[in-house]
């Protein structure tokens, strides 16, 4: 896919305490409109994913910026701003045997996806390409000992 996805970081990274508050407000905004002002922030398009809490069993929604891989598929970074632990939404993807699909909302539509957690050579390839466009993820990786996951969200089937 030949689109320019390069974004220079022109903002301060929110604190770990601020991220859930900002995300909750962002999800509410995205659910109320399809306007670019909500869906394209800082030059990045967003996706809202609904996961099921691994402990609570309750649905949880999170808004995440995405980057398109060379095949045009959406990829999100489970960076949590370089925190030592994975973000909750990523941990909630862990056991999806009963419900392998995730509901995804994007600007102007929704779809179901069976997310792919990238590993090995594919992880290395996509990490390099993504960081050429969004260099701050390398900075986040330098802040933590965990390997920051990449998750691809292919459109498995349309959602109502």
Helix H or strand E segment including 158: strand 157-158
Q: Is the pLDDT of residue 7 over 70?
A: no
pLDDT at position 64, please? 94
Indicate the pLDDT class of residue 111, thresholds 50, 70 and 90. very high
pLDDT at position 102, please? 92
Indicate the pLDDT class of residue 18, thresholds 50, 70 and 90. confident
Distance CA 29, CA 35 (A): 10
Among residues 35, 38, 46, 34, which one has the least CA distance to residue 7? 46
CA 49 centroid distance within chain: 8
Domains and CATH numbers, the chain: 38-158 (2.30.110.10)
Q: Is the pLDDT of residue 1 over 50?
A: no
pTM for the full model?
0.86
């Amino acid at each position: 896919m030949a689109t320019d996805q390069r974004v220079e970081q022109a903002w301060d990274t929110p604190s770990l305490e601020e991220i859930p508050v900002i995300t909750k407000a962002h999800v509410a905004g995205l659910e109320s409109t399809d306007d670019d002002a909500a869906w394209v922030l800082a030059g990045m398009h967003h996706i809202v994913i609904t996961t099921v809490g691994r402990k609570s069993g309750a649905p949880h929604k999170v808004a995440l910026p995405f980057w398109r891989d060379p095949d045009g598929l959406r990829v999100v970074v489970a960076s949590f701003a370089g925190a030592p632990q994975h973000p909750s939404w990523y941990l909630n993807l862990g056991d999806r045997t009963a419900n392998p699909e995730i509901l995804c909302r994007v600007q102007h539509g929704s779809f179901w996806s069976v997310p792919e957690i990238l590993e090995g050579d594919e992880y290395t390839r996509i990490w390099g390409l993504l960081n050429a466009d969004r260099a701050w993820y390398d900075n986040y990786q330098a802040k933590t000992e965990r390997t920051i996951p990449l998750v691809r969200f292919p459109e498995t089937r349309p959602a109502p």
